């Protein structure tokens, strides 16, 4: 049967467990039933610390150019150093800006059998805030001082709130079709710290609320919450959240915290979303503490591949992957050690492939 659609997918494993989980994402895409009519061409691309050590460049220009000609991509993780290294800058942070991937969409969902149901999407602004990485250190008579720019623009805040509103509407449509849900109606929670940062977070707050006041979001309830009490409520009452929209850094921190609530960072996917391109990326990093042992959880990456497909309008294919992963988790027999199991990465992948 001729394929209905050919998708070229750039694969950037990066460092550490990125090299273990990206092949899992690829294999799951390749194993999708032929009846879906999808054909995948994969292109292997380089970025990360190892690439930097080999070539002196962490994000080769060829990677950026090739990726920008692909339909989508999968990014594993990179091992960025915690102290400044001349010439090195985080490739994923750079890629998000270079490819105008303005939204980082991070669904955090518990399995149906969980004691405490959680079903939220964290929509993180992906190009600015402290991630503009404009830092400097200077000497003063009292010693060194370091400063960083926190840049918030009306345009990026409007764009991120708009996609958050659209996601809330889409989730509501799925619920209306009869899908079981813990939420009654669509809700977007605007997160900020504008009680202290009245200009930067203040602009994020007003622009986000103005965007969500658009008549097409009239059915979406909008709440706001200061980020510190947000963490408190997130841990006590996570079921209260539907869609959370946040500036870049808060979104990053909130999503790792939310991952703990559903059992592991190894479960939580993300998609870096642009106007016509999506780059799936597990929320976790390169996990040097477990790399090379064959025990990393591939599910965050497998779900990221599905999320990428959703943003490429291949929702049926995405749903098949989510269902296979959920079945693996709900049965609970082949779980990786981060979830309390003893299964190797390969065994988890095999189990999910079998269920596809
Ligand atoms: N997008 C990216 O490329 C990111 C890269 N990093 C980089 O990763 C490196 C390590 O950072 P950490 O703070 O340790 O965060 P991390 O996310 O790599 O690991 C945190 C903890 O979660 C566990 N974990 C993460 N993913 C897992 C998986 N799939 N299966 C099982 N356990 C998993 C790790 O073993 C570790 O105990 C750093 O160099 C950092 O720069 C961190 C976050 C994102
Ligand atoms: O380590 C790196 O290079 C990037 C880590 C950044 C990060 O956690 C995120 O923004 O998702």
Determine the Cα–Cα distance for residues 92 and 171; give it in Å rounded to an integer. Answer: 28
Q: How far apart, in whole angstroms, are the C-alpha atoms of residue 141 and residue 282? A: 44
Please state the atom number of ligand 1 nearest to the C-alpha of residue 288: 10
Whole-number pLDDT of residue 181: 82
User: Which two tokens mark 40?
Assistant: 């995948």
For helices 200-212 and 154-176, the axis angle rounded to 10 degrees is: 40
What backbone phi and psi angles, to 5 degrees, belong to 217? Answer: -105, 20
Say if pTM beats, i.e. exceeds, 0.90. Answer: yes
Say how many Å lie between the CA of residue 283 and the centre of ligand 2.
9
* Residue 276 structure tokens: 């016509």
The DSSP code sequence of 181-215 is: -S-SS-EEEEEE-TTT-TTHHHHHHHHHHHHHTSG
Phi first, then psi, for residue 44 (nearest 5°) are: -80, 130
> What gap in Å lies between CA 168 and CA 172, rounded to an integer?
6
pLDDT value at residue 77: 98
Pocket of ligand 2 (CB under 6 A): 78, 80, 90, 92-93, 252, 285
Distance CA 65, CA 54 (A): 20
pLDDT at 68: 96
Question: How far apart are alpha carbons 170 and 311 in whole angstroms?
Answer: 12
Distance 83 CA to ligand 2 centre (A): 14
Residues of the chain with pLDDT under 70: 1
How far is residue 296's CA from residue 294's CA, in Å, rounded to a whole number?
6
pLDDT in tens, 94-149: 999 999 999 999 999 998 878 889 999 999 999 999 999 999 999 999 999 999 99
Say if the ipTM goes beyond 0.95: yes
Sole residue written with tokens 């190797």:
344
Q: Ligand 1 mean position to 175 CA, how many Å?
A: 33
Which ligand minimizes its atom distance to the CA of 281?
1
- Report how far residue 315's alpha carbon sits from residue 232's, in angstroms, rounded to the nearest whole number: 34
Residues 6+ apart with CB under 8 A from 52: 58, 85, 87, 88
- Residue 131 Cα, ligand 2 centroid: separation in angstroms? 9
The residue whose CA is least distant from atom 6 of ligand 2 is 93
Token code pair at residue 171: 């989730």
**Predicted pLDDT of residue 1:** 62
Ligand 1 centroid to Cα of residue 155, in Å, is 31
Ligand nearest to the CA of 76: 1
């Amino acid at each position: 049967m001729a394929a209905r659609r050919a998708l070229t997918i750039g694969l950037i494993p990066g460092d550490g467990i990125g090299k273990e989980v990206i092949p899992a994402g690829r294999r799951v895409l390749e194993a999708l039933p032929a009846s879906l009519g999808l054909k995948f061409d994969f292109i292997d691309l380089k970025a990360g610390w190892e690439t930097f050590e080999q070539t002196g460049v962490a994000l080769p220009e060829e990677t950026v150019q090739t990726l920008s000609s692909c339909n989508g991509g999968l990014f594993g993780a990179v091992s960025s150093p915690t102290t400044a290294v001349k010439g090195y800058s985080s490739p994923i942070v750079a890629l998000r800006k270079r490819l105008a991937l303005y939204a980082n969409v991070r669904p955090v969902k518990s399995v149906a059998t969980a004691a405490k149901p959680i079903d939220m999407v964290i929509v993180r602004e992906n190009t600015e805030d402290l991630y503009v990485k404009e830092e400097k250190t200077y000497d003063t008579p009292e010693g060194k001082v370091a400063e960083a720019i926190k840049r918030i623009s009306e345009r990026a805040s409007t764009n991120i709130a708009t996609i958050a509103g659209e996601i809330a509407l889409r989730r509501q449509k799925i619920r209306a079709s009869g899908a079981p849900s813990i939420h009654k109606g669509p809700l977007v929670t605007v997160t900020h710290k504008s009680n202290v940062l009245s200009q930067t977070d203040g602009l994020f707050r007003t622009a986000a609320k103005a965007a969500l006041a658009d008549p097409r979001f009239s059915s979406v309830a909008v709440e706001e919450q200061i980020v510190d009490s947000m963490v408190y409520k997130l841990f006590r009452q996570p079921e209260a959240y539907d869609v959370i929209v946040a500036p870049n850094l808060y979104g990053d921190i909130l999503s790792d915290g939310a991952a703990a609530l559903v059992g592991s960072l190894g479960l939580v996917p993300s998609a870096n979303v642009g106007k016509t391109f999506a780059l799936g990326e597990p929320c976790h990093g390169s996990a040097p503490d477990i790399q090379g042992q064959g025990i990393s959880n591939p599910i965050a990456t497998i779900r990221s591949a599905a999320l990428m497909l959703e943003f490429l309008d291949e929702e049926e294919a995405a749903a098949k992957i989510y269902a296979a992963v959920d079945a693996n988790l709900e049965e609970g027999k082949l779980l990786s050690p981060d979830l309390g199991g003893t299964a190797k990465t390969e065994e988890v992948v095999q189990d999910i492939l079998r269920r596809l």
